[in-house]
Chain A
Amino acid sequence: MATETSIRRAGEEALPSSERPHELARVRVPVRSARSELRAIKVVWKRELIRFSRDRLRILTSLIQPFLFLFVLGTGISSLAAAGTHGVNFKTFIYPGILCMAVMFTAMFSAASIVWDREFGFLREMMVAPVRRSSIVLGKCFGGATVAGFQGLLVIAISPLVGIPYNAALIAELLALALLLAFAITAFGVMFAARVNQMQSFMALMQMAIMPMFFLSGTLFSVALLPTWLAVLNRLDPLTYAVEPMRRAIFAHAHISAAARRALDPGVTWWGWHVPTAVEAAVIAVLGLAMLSIAIVEFSRAE
């Protein structure tokens, strides 16, 4: 629409040049359009990237946890678990869960920045802009997903160390699932960030949500022989639908015997039906979109 540039010189004729230390050109701001919303989404996304790239310490520290799990816990438990893993490296087994955890924590931290933004006032700058709140929430979620996806890529980079060979198709599948998970988790965090005003409460809430999801997801154990109560909780855990397809993809590329695959990666079943990867991805996508919608509604309501 009215996107034409018109730079006007204010006061050009009214004041002699000696009294005009600076000339101010007027800019014309166009009315709201799909394009201006896209610009808003993009700039909120970009801000997330700039802030992440500037925070090298954060990139480094968020890699420490996956390393601890993989190489300290993983190595330590390997000997204990050797009898039950059918010769499969325990580190390979827990790798998909660790990848998910790294992605989740990074995504969560991105969402947490909304709480910081509120505390330091910057949220107000975005809330008074003449754009839809949904654009801001979308930009934030895309930003969180991108940053967490990058963190996932760093963890993917070390996969040969746990016996997973580099393979383009595998990397693409892992990355796609990681991005999807990152998006859903950012939306989850943003949804809470709309209501929680204090950083401490937000972090406590997130810990409370992430740790049970992590433990129930089958990262550290096979879901083949679980008692019913745990099997039910495992199916209800959204993270299960990210860890399981990742493990399936990894096992397919890591030369693992059929017997081992049956024992360690039986797949998720709903009343006996084997849930395929596409449906698992859809579960995460639907949950992510639902939480995104709630987040948008909450932010649109906020004054």
Chain B
Amino acid sequence: MSEPTVTSPGTASAAPSGATSNGGSAVEVNGLVKRYGEVEAVKGIDFAVARGEIFGFLGPNGAGKSTTINMLCTLVRPSGGSALVAGHDVVSERDEVRRNIGLVFQDTTLDGYLTAEQNLRLHAELYGVPRDAVHERMRQVMEMVGLWDRRGSLVNTFSGGMKRRLEIARGLLHSPRVLFLDEPTVGLDPQTRSSIWRYIRELKAREDITIFLTTHYMDEAEYCDRIAIIDQGRIIVLDTPQELKAKVGSDRVQIQTDDDQAAIAAIRERFGIEATMADGVVTFGVPAGEQFVPRLFDEWDPAHPAIRSVSVARPSLDDVFMSHTGTTIRDAESSNDDQRRNVGRMMSR
């Protein structure tokens, strides 16, 4: 977990900044609700994030992830329930919370007409970072994301990935205790996505910091220490990715055939397994996939439709999501998008 913060050799201190010295949770949420008129975007959620943890909120667009993160960041007032961030109440101790958190939003919040360095200096001034510490801290966070050499460039000349990296550096400038990342890799190419994840994991190793992020990428959720799956404003399940996958209990077998409907019927008749169509192929779950495949071919009647290909996969978070919600995250997204104004926002990406 996180390394102890050390003032000088011998003087250990575990409370780096701010008034919170308790070793309790970094984030503590009780019965949090947000209503917009008639619509309940967040329907009473409870969870706690331990210090030093990478905690992920996984769910389709429109599930309530951003609303929750906005409430934790004091940007949106909860309609009910309570939330403590770094030991401070998000409603009654708004400034205390703000001082102790770093934010990286989905959409850029940089000033494109200023240089990278001017953006960070502005941030340092707004957050009251001691003047004599600004330069050194700025160099460190910018070196970490590999932008120190570009500090004199106008942000408008940066690519999307560079902007996101600069935002991460800026979010860290004032040594926050909790870093919030709202969809940190959305709209980025795979290479940039993986480098952002490298920074996040490096950060966890080097700073005494808790990371709270939202994502709708299943593969990224695997990097989290724990994840909460959220759908339609409720937390459906919360655990480590390993535990969640273990609980699904079965491997996923997908076969391509000449006649899918006949194959589904044959599987039901022969093996007593209910297969469904997913991603355009016949899909079903069995406890031990590798051992099932030889059996499948042994018992497959020549009268059944011919099998063109077989694939076996360990349970992924996709399967976790599916086993809890009965739908894939992609399908959940398209139905959410129809209901919500997100459609326009997604198209603009």
Contact = CB atoms under 8 A, between A and B. Distances in A.
B215 interface: no
Interface stretch (B134-142, B242-250, B332-340): B134-142
A54 B113 contact: yes
Interface in B116-139: 118, 121-123, 125-130, 132-134, 136-137
Contact of B175 (A27, A30, A120): A27
A21 B132 CA distance: 23
Given A29-B17, A122-B111, A24 B126 contact: no
B105 A124 contact: yes
Interface stretch (B53-61, B72-80, B277-285): B72-80
A24 B179 CA distance: 15
A36 interface: yes
Contact of B125 (A27, A43, A124, A303): A43
Interface in A9-47: 9-15, 20-32, 35-36, 39-40, 42-43, 47
Residue with the greatest number of chain A CB neighbours at <10 A, chosen from B5, B73, B74, B172:
B5
Contact of A39 (B113, B118, B128, B207): B128
Q: Which size bracket describes the interface of A in this complex?
A: 35 or more
B6 A128 contact: no
Contacts of B136: 7, 25
A251 to B, nearest CB: 41
A25 B137 contact: yes
B174 interface: yes
B161 interface: no
Interface string A118-154: 0011101111111100000000000000000000000
Given A11-B205, A121-B107, A36 B128 contact: yes
B202 to A, nearest CB: 8
B206 interface: yes
A41 B144 CA distance: 30
A35 B131 CA distance: 12
Nearest to A127: B75
B3 A129 contact: no
A119 B206 CA distance: 35
A124 B122 contact: no
A25 B175 CA distance: 9
Contacts of A9: 6
B234 interface: no
Contacts of A20: 206
Contacts of B95: 32, 130
Contacts, number: 154
B118 A29 contact: no
A3 B130 CA distance: 7
A228 interface: no
Q: Which size bracket describes the interface of B in this complex?
A: 35 or more
Interface string B208-226: 1000000000000000000
A230 interface: no
Contact of A5 (B16, B118, B122, B132): B132
A128 B98 contact: yes
A8 B16 contact: yes
B327 to A, nearest CB: 32
A303 to B, nearest CB: 6
A194 B3 CA distance: 44
A283 interface: no
Contacts of A36: 128
A6 interface: yes
A255 interface: no
Contacts of A7: 133, 136-137
Given A3-B130, A27-B137, A50-B114, A125 B123 contact: yes
Interface of A: 3-15, 20-32, 35-36, 39-40, 42-43, 47, 50-51, 54-55, 117, 120-122, 124-131, 303
Given A27-B175, A43-B126, 9 more contacts: A14-B4, A27-B173, A29-B17, A32-B95, A43-B122, A121-B105, A125-B126, A129-B123, A130-B98
